[in-house]
A and B are shown apart, each in its own frame.
Chain A
Amino acid sequence: MLGQVIASGAAMGAIYALVALGYVFVWNTMGIINFAAGEFITFSAYIFVGTLITSLALPFPFALALIAILMAAMGAAFSRLVFSRLQRQRALVAIIATVGFGIFLKEMAHIIYGPEPLMYDGPFGMRTLDVAGILISYQQLLILAVVTLIMAAQYLVFRYTMLGKVMRAVAMDRETAALMGIPVERVLAGTFAYSSVLAALAGLLLAPLFFVTVDMGTMVGLKGFVAMIIGGFGSIPGAILGGLLLGILENIASFTISSAYKDAIAFALLLVFLAFLPQGILPEKVVDRA
């Protein structure tokens, strides 16, 4: 039974990891936490299920590509129009602005798609697979596969491509990156677009596990934030580890204690970490000697 609990916890944790990575990228490049991240998840789940899958009846792979493009465009536009301006504001102003944008997205979803929750069975329906006595749904397998693929691709891009190196350079020292002729504003918009794609993926992967409602992304967005903190603020490997750990621990706890406390457990874990390991499990290393 424990295997079962861990497997489904890991699938949920993989989603938290996606969301946590979104926070990390935006934080590292712009120094802002995007508190609208949860609503990006909600909004993209609505577009995906309500429009692309239901109204347009697109096949899953097309819908997937389209939602990624749409959310990337929305992210880039939001970054250029709003986020780049927030950079010059005080932190509190920036925080309130992202929270406000989240509420706006939530209300937009409500206006466009109405109050009824949307249902979506996922590309594989409700089938499950029996792996050595552990029942795991195809949807959970899909989540784990997609997230693993994204992480691997992201690692390769960051490590080996000009784009990846440029993104890291911009995150580290914008002014100097600009001096090399790097179009910093575009890199920032691209980074934000990528974090929006991560949110979109989280939304469409989650949709079959929950109903699509206006509140669907809010808790996931917060838990992604918790995952980033317990992993190590601003750390990429930390976000992945933190997400998985949070997903598994909350599932174990809700199984052994009570599922009624599931959400509370995530925040209890946050308090424990803030008290005893505030820098997280895999904090960002700071290297600078000369």
Chain B
Amino acid sequence: MLAPGASLPQRSQAGQTVLELAGVDAFYGKAQILFDLSLTVGQGEVVTVIGANGAGKSTTLNVIIGKVKPAAGEVRLDGRPVNDASVEAIVSKGVTCVPQRRRIFSALTVRENLDVGGYVRRHDKAALKAGLEECYELFPVLAKKANSLGGVLSGGEQQMLAIARGLMAGPRVLLLDEPSMGLSPKLTVEMFEDIRRIAQTGRTIVIVEQNAYAALSVADYGYVLENGRVSLSGPAEELIEDDYVRQTYLGA
């Protein structure tokens, strides 16, 4: 399954490595999902992982956030291994995951969803206030609907809320699981525009997506995940041009 011409140029690492998976194997019960998976995310980078249904994208994020413990290999944050850290510990260290399908607390208001997102910073009132202001600035519609129940928002608004809720924890690294899922082409474009704006705040972002073109367009670097293995990786602009990627994921 390896693409022809898989030897793309080495990435020029601008900043320091923030997040790293090294040779990770992961299982659900007896089923192995990830095989010797390695990936590197530099400070301030936007990294996109593309892959088909069931390739192991969500599992990869679950390993990073501490929900799934790797059976082999290492997860490193700022160079230190965090294999045994709880989700709470990882979130407190500045990594948050915006889950697939948004998972809004439907009977909580928009504002309450954001408050819950800030749980790990609950004792830092000033930071929470600044976080809330940033969210409302990024997504003005959330300020307007602050008192609406999360469940009555449109799909696009719910995705904004899910991302904003993630930002409330004050992450340095934001993990986004299929942010374009269920959005119209127009909303998808807007969503990735929002993601680009978040990247401009200096945050590091990992996006896993099936919508390869949109997600690679905003990324610095990309990985292709197939059956739990990295089959290809390289600078995003080169992956978009790559014949194999174009045929398999861009429908061209």
Contact A288 B106 (CB under 8 A): yes
**Residue on A with the closest CB to B112?**
A165
A262 within 8 A of partner (CB): no
**Contact present for A287 and B87 (CB under 8 Å):** no
The answer to the question of A173 belonging to the interface, with a C-beta cut-off of 8 Å to chain B, is yes
How far is B33's CA from A228's CA once the two chains are assembled, in angstroms? 44
Residues of B within 8 A of A178 (CB): 67, 87
Stretch binding the partner chain, chosen from B97-105, B131-139, B231-239: B97-105
Inter-chain contact B88/A181, CB cutoff 8 Å: yes
For residue A176, which residues in chain B have a CB less than 8 angstroms away from its CB? 99, 103, 105
Q: Is the CB of A180 within 8 A of B115?
A: no
**A290 contacts which of B96, B97, B116, B153 (Cβ < 8 Å)?**
B153
- Tell me whether A179 is interfacial, beta carbon within 8 Å: yes
Query: Are the C-beta atoms of A177 and B116 separated by less than 8 Å?
Result: yes
Complex alpha-carbon distance, A175 and B62, angstroms: 12
Since A172-B107, A181-B88 are in contact, a sample of 4 more A-B pairs with Cβ atoms closer than 8 Å, ordered by chain A residue number, is A179-B67, A180-B96, A288-B106, A289-B152
Contact B151–A288 (Cβ < 8 Å): yes
Residues on the A chain within 8 Å of B65, using CB: 179
Q: Which residue of B lies closest to A285 (CB)?
A: B107
Interface: A166 (CB within 8 A) = yes
Contact B119 A166 (CB under 8 A): yes
Complex contacts, B104 vs chain A, CB 8 Å: 290
Beyond A165-B108, A169-B105, A181-B91, whether A290 also contacts B158 by CB under 8 A is yes
Render B83-97 as a binary contact track against A, CB cut-off 8 A, 1 for contact.
000011011100011
Q: Are B152 and A287 closer than 8 Å at their CB atoms?
A: yes
> Which residues of B have CB within 8 Å of A287?
106-107, 149-152
Q: In the complex, which of the residues B91, B108, B182 contacts A172, with contact meaning CB atoms closer than 8 Å?
A: B108
A residues 239-290 near B (Cβ < 8 Å) are 285, 287-290
- Listed by A's residue number, 19 A-B pairs whose Cβ atoms lie within 8 Å are A165-B108, A165-B115, A166-B119, A168-B108, A169-B108, A169-B116, A172-B105, A175-B103, A176-B103, A179-B91, A179-B99, A180-B91, A180-B96, A180-B116, A181-B120, A183-B88, A288-B106, A288-B151, A289-B154
Q: Which residue of A is nearest B151, CB measured? A: A287
CB distance from A189 to the nearest CB of B (A): 15
Minimal beta-carbon separation of A281 from chain B (angstroms)? 19
- Residue numbers in B under 8 Å from A285 (CB-CB): 107
Q: Is A162 an interface residue (CB 8 A)?
A: yes
Contact B105 A179 (CB under 8 A): no
CB of B197 within 8 Å of the partner chain: no
| Closest Cβ–Cβ distance, residue B92 to chain A (whole Å) | 6
For residue A119, CB closer than 8 A to chain B, the reply is no
Is the CB of A74 closer than 8 A to any CB of chain B? no
Q: Which residues of A contact B117 (CB under 8 A)?
A: 180
Q: Most chain-B CB neighbours within 10 Å: which of A183, A285, A289?
A: A289
In the complex, which of the residues A162, A175, A179, A181 contacts B115, with contact meaning CB atoms closer than 8 Å?
A162
- In the assembled complex, the CB of A267 is this many whole angstroms from the nearest CB of chain B, namely 31
For residue A134, CB closer than 8 A to chain B, the reply is no
Chain A residues, Cβ within 8 Å of B145: none
A182 within 8 A of partner (CB) = yes
Hey, which chain B residues are within 8 Å of A168, CB to CB?
A: 105, 107-108, 112
Tell me the B143-187 residues at the A interface (CB within 8 Å). Answer: 149-155, 157-158, 165, 169, 182
Q: In residues 182-236 of chain B, which contact A (Cβ within 8 Å)?
A: 182
Q: How far is the CB of B102 from chain A (nearest CB, A)?
A: 8
- Interface residues in A148-205 by Cβ distance below 8 A to B read 162, 165-166, 168-169, 172-173, 175-183
Q: Are A181 and B116 in contact (CB under 8 A)?
A: no
Contacts of A177 in B (CB 8 A): 116
Bound-complex Cα distance A206 to B246 (A): 74
The distance from the CB of A96 to the nearest CB of chain B, in whole angstroms, is 28
Q: A residues within 8 A CB of B153?
A: 289-290
CA distance A178 to B99 in the complex (A): 11
